A = this chain, B = another copy of it.
Amino acid sequence: MIHAFSGGVGGAKLARGLADVVQPSHLTIVVNTGDDFDYLGLRIMPDFDSVAYALAGLNDTERGWGRADETWQCRDALAALGVDTWFSLGDRDLATHLLRISLLKGGATATDAAAEITRRMGIACRLVPMTDHPVNTMVVTESGELSFQEYFVRQRCEPAVAAFRFAGVNRATPSAAWFHTFKQGVSRGLILCPSNPFVSIDPILSLAGVRGLLRRRVLPVVAVSPLVGGTSIKGPLAKMLTELGQRCDVLAIADHYADFLDGMVIDNRDAEFEPELRRRGLHVAVCDTMMVGREVSRSLARVSLELLAHCGAKHAT
């Protein structure tokens, strides 16, 4: 079994590549739920749905989020009713939310609902929300504490960030659907997808028992850098690093995961950092990490898996 931790769009691209090259029954993708929120009576799980749509081939590759061939009739009708449509619900996307809320109302946990939705989408690997407990990523900014969606969608990441808080995480346990195999040593390793460390990966690491387990170095961990050439492809990571007073390059990512990281995949453009990463005891692979198409996702997945196997072999010795 291979585990991967993922946020939304960037992580979804690597997840698709991993699903292409790993036998489905041997792949578990764990998705951040810190961004999830309630909207118009629905339970919106942005990261989960981004990865699910990517794995099912339903995602819009042009826009970069949501479903392909999407329409917006419902959103426009909501706006005509004077509803604040700060979050754009697509008509096709709504089908997923309606299926989910009816499963949840029927007593399903988030994990149960995820299993049912992925089954219906024909997704063969395991795609699991990190927890069934409510965890809300809060962004501490100069203008106060904001929920992640408030920060990300409404305020377009404009306020400078000072810190992050995962409300509810103290009472949250990892979903058994992934943590059982993870903690039993069944996993052959963990890949951290090129997602935002602060708001996509840290929520998963903050769940009871996860970071502690990784610090005991029971399994190899490889991170695929979400930074390329000192900037984030999409999303506010570079801006956040700057506002937090940290360096904005692959070393910052390595430092962030320093207490358990074994290897790192970095972009050709960041090859200059390879020696420094090695000096810090990391195994390194350098390749094209810009997943502009499915082929690049697949080859990046292969490179990540090879590095993970390499780290695993070193672990064993």
Residue in B41, B94, B96, B104 whose CB lies within 8 Å of A102: B41
Q: Which of A47-105 contact B (CB under 8 A)?
A: 67, 70-71, 73-78, 80-83, 91-96, 98-99, 101-102, 104-105
Answer whether residue A120 sits at the interface, using C-beta atoms and an 8 A cutoff: yes
Answer whether residue A40 sits at the interface, using C-beta atoms and an 8 A cutoff: yes
A94 B95 Cβ-Cβ under 8 A: no
Residue in B41, B81, B92, B121 whose CB lies within 8 Å of A95: B81
Answer whether residue A172 sits at the interface, using C-beta atoms and an 8 A cutoff: no
Smallest CB–CB gap between A210 and chain B, Å? 31
B120 A94 Cβ-Cβ under 8 A: no
Answer whether residue A42 sits at the interface, using C-beta atoms and an 8 A cutoff: yes
Smallest CB–CB gap between A188 and chain B, Å? 32
Residues of B within 8 A of A93 (CB): 77
Residues of B within 8 A of A117 (CB): 81
Pick from A73, A76, A82, A105 the residue with the most CB of B within 10 Å.
A73
B99 A81 Cβ-Cβ under 8 A: yes
Residues of B within 8 A of A102 (CB): 40-41
B101 A74 Cβ-Cβ under 8 A: no
Residue in B41, B74, B82 whose CB lies within 8 Å of A74: B74
Q: Chain A contact residues: over half helix, strand or loop, or mixed?
A: helix
Residue in B78, B83, B99 whose CB lies within 8 Å of A40: B99
Smallest CB–CB gap between A120 and chain B, Å? 5
Residues of B within 8 A of A40 (CB): 98-99, 101-102
B83 A99 Cβ-Cβ under 8 A: yes
Smallest CB–CB gap between A296 and chain B, Å? 28
**What CA separation (Å) do A266 and B46 show in the bound complex?**
56
Residues of B within 8 A of A99 (CB): 40, 78, 81, 83
Residues of B within 8 A of A81 (CB): 95-96, 99, 117, 120-121
Residues of B within 8 A of A67 (CB): 77
B98 A42 Cβ-Cβ under 8 A: yes
Residues of B within 8 A of A70 (CB): 73
**What CA separation (Å) do A104 and B105 show in the bound complex?**
14
**What CA separation (Å) do A220 and B189 show in the bound complex?**
80
B82 A94 Cβ-Cβ under 8 A: no
22 pairs, CB–CB < 8 Å, chain A vs chain B: A40-B102, A41-B41, A41-B42, A41-B98, A41-B101, A41-B105, A71-B73, A71-B91, A73-B92, A74-B74, A74-B94, A74-B95, A74-B98, A75-B95, A76-B92, A77-B91, A77-B92, A78-B99, A81-B95, A81-B99, A81-B120, A81-B121
Q: A71-B71, A81-B121, A91-B91 are in contact. List 9 more A-B contacts (CB 8 A).
A: A40-B98, A73-B73, A74-B91, A74-B94, A74-B95, A77-B92, A82-B120, A83-B120, A91-B94
Closest 3 CB pairs of A and B: A77-B95, A41-B101, A73-B91
